[in-house]
Chains A and B, each alone.
Chain A
Amino acid sequence: QVQLVESGGGLVKPGGSLRLSCTGSGFMLRDYYLSWVRQAPGKGLEWVSHISPSGEETYYGNFVKGRFTVSRDNAKKSLYLQMNSLGVEDTAVYYCARDVAVYAMGKFYYGLDVWGQGTTVTISS
């Protein structure tokens, strides 16, 4: 069964840090870009970041402003999001999602076709 499972969410004070994890199973995680998407309470979806299969390419939403770092460990089939200098505006459910597939013949985009169940991050004093 193809799935992604997030963990690491919790309650953090403003200015604090948190590291989210996402573990994949049922597919070759090392062949895919992976994305983070978040959703603040009662709000819409907001794309956060994504990372290439090798980890060499990383991209972030404008609001990140150097506070977040995405990384991955393909041997552990895992994706991470290190979040620093957290503010109340970062309170959200954070989802990981499978992104672009990269094979020997090239890159293939099929949408964000697999999503985790999400992990909740609450920033409050």
Chain B
Amino acid sequence: EIVLTQSPLSLPVTPGEPASISCRSSQNLLHGNGKNFLDWYRQKPGQSPQLLIFLGSHRASGVPDRFSGSGSGTDFTLKIRSVEAEDVGIYYCMQALQTQYTFGQGTKLEIK
């Protein structure tokens, strides 16, 4: 089973400031087709998870361009260029390389 480790687990951010979340994988997530099978999801309080980034760096439909994903292999990063109040929630990375998908522990972003 692939283990994903996120850091930090708690992220207090001032509105307008940038934010960054790391996700490290116990195995290489780079497929032979050249794509990294790592996604990012956000779950706002009381809501279902929402896809933000798929295949490492592709923004999902409707996701603001202040969100970006980067990385390859075992190290990935989600960046928010300028945090807004609506960005509060728990952010999860998930690997889809193996048929048994796994999630990271989650990073709680809160507004200072």
Contact = CB atoms under 8 A, between A and B. Distances in A.
Interface of A: 35, 37, 44-47, 50, 59-62, 95, 97, 109-113, 115-118
A81 B71 CA distance: 35
Contacts of A115: 48-50
B1 A111 contact: no
Contacts, number: 62
B22 interface: no
Nearest to B47: A117
A84 B104 CA distance: 27
A45 B95 CA distance: 12
Contacts of B43: 45
B13 interface: no
A45 B58 CA distance: 21
